[in-house]
């Protein structure tokens, strides 16, 4: 049986945590919006950008619901994670086959998937490929402290906040771009549910958003 070369390194998809998987699916959806391999009529096994976003949004809801460690919610989260991982892997295979069919290696580029290294791995990884580890905790009355674990000491981080539905993109407001790991937000209304997210900025470009973190203000 003939075999096809697989230029993508998809080996790490199965090991993604729920937070990293959500961010990875959103990134793939963003790329699929304009990538030539996802335009027009597509095979039924391919997931378009809108479908990827539905999976990621559903997984985010399941992730928050599973924070209480309820068994049924955890099972639902695990099931949705499997769906998301399969969608990423099948989409990668679709791009590879279309690239071979058209004899167009450029289709492999700018598709959110990492190409296998043909030589030694790069010593420095772009911050835009990383998702900042983000958390939040209560401060004094009406205050929240957002904590971002940065991959590099002087990395620039953008932090956004919303008190509305975190799944609605237009609800988010930027708190600014910072070169520090702890960002304090004052003047919040007690008993309000607040959501935060963060992403790296490098060379005038923005990276992927972190998973949303939730906090109830005291």
pLDDT in tens, 89-113: 999 999 999 999 999 999 999 899 9
Contact of 212 with 62, CB cutoff 8 Å: no
Classified by CATH at the fold level, domain 127-216 comes out as Immunoglobulin-like (2.60.40)
Mean pLDDT computed over 42-67: 92
pTM, full prediction: 0.57
Mean pLDDT computed over 197-205: 87
Question: Chain-wide mean pLDDT for the chain?
Answer: 89
**Closest of 170, 164, 175 to residue 199, by C-alpha:** 175
Q: Which pLDDT belongs to residue 165? A: 93
Helix (H) or strand (E) segment spanning residue 77: helix 71-102
Q: Which pLDDT belongs to residue 124? A: 55
Contact of 30 with 49, CB cutoff 8 Å: yes
Q: Where are the domains of the chain?
A: 13-108, 127-216
Q: CA 12, 17, 23, 29: dihedral to nearest 10 degrees?
A: 60
pLDDT tens across 149-182, in order?
888 777 889 999 999 999 999 999 999 888 888 9
Structure token digits, residue 5: 């070369």
Q: Which pLDDT belongs to residue 202? A: 84
Q: Please list the residues that pair with 183 across neighbouring strands.
A: 146
Q: Which pLDDT belongs to residue 204? A: 77
Distance of alpha carbon 88 from alpha carbon 22, whole angstroms? 11
pLDDT at 78 over 90: yes
Distance of alpha carbon 21 from alpha carbon 25, whole angstroms? 6
pLDDT at 1 over 70: no
Structure token digits, residue 156: 């620039």
Helix (H) or strand (E) segment spanning residue 178: strand 173-178
């Amino acid at each position: 049986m003939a075999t096809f070369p697989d230029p993508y390194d998809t080996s790490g998809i199965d090991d993604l945590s729920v937070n990293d998987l959500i961010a990875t699916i959103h990134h793939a959806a963003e790329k699929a919006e304009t990538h030539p391999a996802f335009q027009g009529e597509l095979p039924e096994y391919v997931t378009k950008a809108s479908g990827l976003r539905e999976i990621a949004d559903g997984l985010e809801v399941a992730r928050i619901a599973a924070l209480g460690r309820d068994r049924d919610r955890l099972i639902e989260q695990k099931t949705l994670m499997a769906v998301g991982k399969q969608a990423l892997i099948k989409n990668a295979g679709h791009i590879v086959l279309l690239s071979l069919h058209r004899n167009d290696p450029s289709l492999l580029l700018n598709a959110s998937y990492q190409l296998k290294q043909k030589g030694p791995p790069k010593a420095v990884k772009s911050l835009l490929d990383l998702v900042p580890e983000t958390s939040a905790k209560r401060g004094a009355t009406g205050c929240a402290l957002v904590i971002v674990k940065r991959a590099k000491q002087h990395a620039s981080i953008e932090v956004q906040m919303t008190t509305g539905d975190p799944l609605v993109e237009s609800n988010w407001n930027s708190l600014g771009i910072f070169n520090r790991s702890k960002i304090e937000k004052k003047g919040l209304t007690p008993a309000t549910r607040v959501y935060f997210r963060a992403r790296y900025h490098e060379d005038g470009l923005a990276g992927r958003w972190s998973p949303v973190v939730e906090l109830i203000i005291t």
